[in-house]
């Protein structure tokens, strides 16, 4: 499935929107094998897409026998089997599909049942008796859910571009663009289009003729009690069991699911556990022929060999990535400039030819302190001599050429960022280390009138006010709500759905998330190790080098590309003075400075900033 769209209007029949609805549905269709699936009833309409080449038994649009209740579901409820036992007003033995079970749970219990759901889902539920619509998004926000409300109508969709087909005003939200220019993605609680909203993760919207209300049913909170928590060994054992349960649960629903295997700790743990439930497990890894430093396939192959998986390892070149740029732009619903999406696009396309569902290790870094910046936050809270020296030498780091193009220049870049951030207060430090560009940079390059109060209010929902305490859990909470939801999950959702692949994240099971934030910070990080508890919980399963090797990630060589292969984009009409001035979004003088910075010996983060501008311009020309 590729998402859904819908409209409810309390003043007129939705038949008056038939042309708009048709356009909205058609924009969700990727190829000729996909056909619309419709539900229309006077004041309301739902639509999603079915793939005739990949039939499924799941009825994702379903109506009760008395026609009083209707539901459209995108995604999966992993605890539907246990929740089915709570149904008392119909023959539950006849119910097997997630949508059927959810429909009758909502009929019987209403909105109160939503907080009990554990899965990756968005849904819309219409009660024809009370003329009430509920749209909801799961606890982590695996898929976006946009909505536009005016007067007596609500238009909603899993994709922004579907809502834009209803002839609503297209005006850039300056606060959203301001956040994008800093983060390389739009804040999770704001849309790039003015007056189109995103339903936040763990919440639902309820609309009737009388009122509209948005309610939260789940928030990630730190439940750590310093007076009462599991000891380290018990916590390690519990965590291992919870993750095993999560994987078993997903493989029960998708027995033939495969796994991404990068050779890092998180994906290797998933493979180690999944192989116990599937003795013919398929695993896939992607490598990089042109940059050995970022090629981790050798580690993936060691893990695959240990667990006897049916492993496929393939290596891509710069040219492969370059060839995927335009299709990556096409998949984007909002501007999104995390360049690693290019590699995920290639991997998803390849894997989709061999498997329809894949498990990944996403979420572990954000819950258990796996990033280098988490070490930096820890060191800032417990600063010793070397950290203070690094900060004191900040003027020196600023003189050293910095970029991502080599180990040394990247090390200088990281030192400079650490030294600069170290001097800030904890809240500003968090934002600085999460960003590519500063507020000053964004203000200078933006040529729109900025609603700073709106931006500030949205931003500060992701800056935990207790971050100044010496507790890495507060940093991780921010990462879960900001980085994971705004960057990582959007990248997964966008690149996988564009290739008709379902990516599931066992680490982000609600039970694991809740347990992870009941643990003390020293279980996760100390002066010598990140992800301590994960390493301990699974040290007997994996090769030792999986735990000791440095974390690389997948860097796209933007700086090198802009000098040659992507030079055509720098000279493209979308960055010309005439286009920029007519568009009225950016300050051309600042664009020119950015172009010039790219070609200096000290480009710093200008390649990432330029990539963000290009991505926005490509998105603009397609959707505005």
| pLDDT (0 to 100) of residue 338 | 95
C-alpha to C-alpha distance for 272 and 270, rounded to whole angstroms:
6
| pLDDT (0 to 100) of residue 320 | 87
Per the CB < 8 A criterion, the answer to whether 195 and 154 are in contact is no
C-alpha to C-alpha distance for 578 and 156, rounded to whole angstroms:
36
> CATH 3.40.50.620 spans which residues of the chain?
232-367+479-548
What letters, b where the CB count within 10 A reaches 16 and e where it falls short, cover 492-501? bbbbbbbbbb
Looking at domain 4-216, its CATH superfamily turns out to be Aminohydrolase, N-terminal nucleophile (Ntn) domain (3.60.20.10)
| pLDDT (0 to 100) of residue 312 | 94
Percentage of the chain exceeding pLDDT 70: 89
- Domain 232-367+479-548 = CATH 3.30.450.20: no
How do beta strands 146-150 and 153-157 pair? antiparallel
| pLDDT (0 to 100) of residue 31 | 54
> CATH 3.60.20.10 spans which residues of the chain?
4-216
Residue 616 in this model has a pLDDT that exceeds 60: yes
C-alpha distances out from residue 374 to 225, 367, 371, 486, Å: 22, 11, 5, 18
What's the average model confidence in pLDDT over 481-489? Answer: 95
C-alpha to C-alpha distance for 266 and 506, rounded to whole angstroms:
10
What's the average model confidence in pLDDT over 390-403? Answer: 46
- The SS3 call for residue 267 is helix
Per the CB < 8 A criterion, the answer to whether 310 and 282 are in contact is yes
Neighbours of 591 (CB within 10 A): 19
Neighbours of 65 (CB within 10 A): 7
C-alpha to C-alpha distance for 221 and 11, rounded to whole angstroms:
41
Mark out the alpha helices in 211-294 (DSSP H runs).
232-253, 265-274
CA torsion, ordered 603, 605, 609, 611, to nearest 10 deg: 80
| pLDDT (0 to 100) of residue 39 | 82
| pLDDT (0 to 100) of residue 401 | 44
Average predicted confidence (pLDDT) for the chain:
88
| pLDDT (0 to 100) of residue 485 | 95
Q: What confidence category does residue 578 fall into, taking pLDDT thresholds of 50, 70 and 90?
A: very high
- Find which of 66-80, 217-231, 469-483 is predicted with most confidence, using mean pLDDT: 66-80
Per the CB < 8 A criterion, the answer to whether 84 and 99 are in contact is no
C-alpha to C-alpha distance for 332 and 616, rounded to whole angstroms:
10
C-alpha to C-alpha distance for 127 and 187, rounded to whole angstroms:
32
Give how far the C-alpha of residue 269 lies from the chain's centroid of Cα atoms, to the nearest Å: 21
Residue with tokens 């849309």: 191
Task: Give me 357's structure tokens.
Answer: 């569902």
Least confident of 177-186, 242-251, 564-573: 564-573
| pLDDT (0 to 100) of residue 552 | 66
Per the CB < 8 A criterion, the answer to whether 2 and 500 are in contact is yes
Nearest in space to 82 (alpha carbons), one of 117, 123, 107, 126? 117
Mark out the alpha helices in 462-543 (DSSP H runs).
472-479, 489-497, 510-516, 532-537
C-alpha distances out from residue 422 to 368, 377, 480, 558, Å: 22, 9, 22, 27
Which tens digit of pLDDT belongs to each residue from 307-351?
999 999 988 888 888 888 988 898 899 999 999 999 899 999 999
Which tens digit of pLDDT belongs to each residue from 54-88?
444 455 788 999 999 999 999 999 999 999 999 88
| pLDDT (0 to 100) of residue 427 | 86
What's the average model confidence in pLDDT over 91-117? Answer: 93
Task: Give me 556's structure tokens.
Answer: 């796209």
Which residues share a beta bridge with 63?
A: 70
Which residues share a beta bridge with 72?
A: 61, 124
What's the average model confidence in pLDDT over 128-149? Answer: 96
C-alpha to C-alpha distance for 53 and 70, rounded to whole angstroms:
26
What's the average model confidence in pLDDT over 130-148? Answer: 96
Which tens digit of pLDDT belongs to each residue from 406-423?
555 555 666 777 778 778
- The SS3 call for residue 530 is coil
User: Model-level pTM?
Assistant: 0.92
Alpha-carbon Rg for the chain, nearest whole angstrom, is 24
What's the average model confidence in pLDDT over 1-18? Answer: 87
């Amino acid at each position: 499935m590729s998402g859904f769209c819908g409209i409810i209007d309390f003043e007129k029949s939705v038949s008056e929107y038939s042309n708009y609805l048709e356009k909205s549905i058609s924009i969700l269709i990727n190829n000729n094998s996909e056909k619309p699936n419709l539900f229309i009833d006077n004041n309301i309409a739902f639509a999603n897409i079915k793939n005739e080449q990949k039939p499924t038994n799941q009825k994702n649009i379903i109506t009760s026998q008395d026609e009083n209740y209707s539901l459209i579901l995108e995604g999966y409820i992993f605890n539907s089997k246990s929740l089915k036992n709570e149904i008392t007003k119909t023959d539950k033995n006849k119910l097997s599909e997630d949508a059927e079970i959810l429909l009758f749970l909502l009929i019987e219990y209403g909105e109160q049942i939503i907080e009990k759901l554990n899965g990756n889902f968005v849904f819309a539920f219409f009660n024809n008796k009370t003329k009430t619509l509920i749209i909801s998004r799961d606890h982590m926000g695996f898929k976006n859910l946009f909505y536009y409300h005016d007067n007596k109508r609500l238009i909603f969709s899993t994709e922004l571009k579907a809502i834009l087909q209803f002839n609503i005003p297209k005006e850039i939200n300056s606060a959203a663009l301001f956040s994008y220019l800093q983060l390389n993605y739009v804040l999770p609680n704001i849309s790039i289009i003015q007056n189109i909203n995103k339903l936040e993760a763990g919440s639902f919207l309820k609309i009737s003729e009388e009122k509209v209300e948005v309610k939260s049913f789940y928030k990630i909170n730190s439940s750590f009690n310093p007076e009462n928590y599991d000891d380290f060994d018990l916590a390690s054992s519990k965590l291992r069991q919870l993750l095993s349960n999560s994987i078993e649960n997903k493989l029960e629903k998708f027995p033939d699911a495969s796994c991404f295997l990068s050779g890092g700790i998180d994906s290797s743990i998933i493979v180690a556990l999944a192989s116990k439930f599937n003795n013919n497990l398929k695993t896939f890894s992607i490598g990089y022929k042109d940059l050995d430093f970022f090629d981790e396939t050798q580690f993936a192959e060691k893990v695959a060999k240990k667990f006897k998986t049916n492993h496929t390892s393939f290596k891509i070149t710069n040219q492969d990535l370059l060839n995927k740029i335009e299709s990556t732009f096409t998949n984007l619903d909002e501007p999104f400039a995390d360049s690693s999406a290019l590699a995920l696009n290639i991997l998803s396309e390849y894997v989709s030819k061999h498997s329809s569902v894949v498990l990944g290790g996403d979420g572990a870094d954000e819950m258990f302190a796996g990033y280098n910046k988490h070490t930096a936050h820890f060191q800032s809270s417990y600063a010793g001599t070397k950290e203070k020296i690094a900060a004191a030498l900040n003027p020196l780091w600023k003189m050293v050429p910095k970029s991502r193009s080599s180990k040394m220049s990247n090390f200088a870049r990281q030192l400079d960022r650490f030294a600069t951030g170290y001097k800030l207060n904890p809240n500003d430090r968090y934002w600085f280390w999460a960003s590519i560009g500063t507020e000053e940079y964004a203000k200078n390059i933006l040529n729109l009138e900025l609603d700073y109060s709106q931006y500030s209010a949205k931003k500060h929902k992701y800056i935990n006010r207790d971050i100044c305490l010496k507790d890495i859990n507060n940093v991780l909470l921010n990462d879960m709500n900001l980085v994971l939801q705004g960057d990582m999950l959007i990248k997964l959702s966008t690149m996988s759905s564009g290739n008709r692949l379902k990516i599931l994240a066992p680490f982000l099971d609600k039970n694991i998330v809740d347990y992870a934030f009941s643990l003390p910070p020293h279980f996760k990080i100390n002066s010598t190790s990140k992800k301590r508890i994960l390493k301990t919980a699974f040290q007997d399963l994996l090769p030792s080098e999986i735990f000791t090797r440095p974390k690389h990630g997948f860097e796209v060589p933007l700086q090198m590309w802009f000098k040659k292969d992507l030079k055509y984009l720098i000279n493209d009409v979308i960055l010309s003075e005439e286009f920029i001035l007519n568009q009225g979004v950016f300050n051309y003088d600042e664009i020119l400075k950015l172009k010039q910075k790219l070609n200096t010996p000290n480009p710093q983060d200008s390649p990432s900033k330029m990539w963000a501008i290009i991505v926005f311009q490509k998105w603009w020309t397609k959707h505005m």
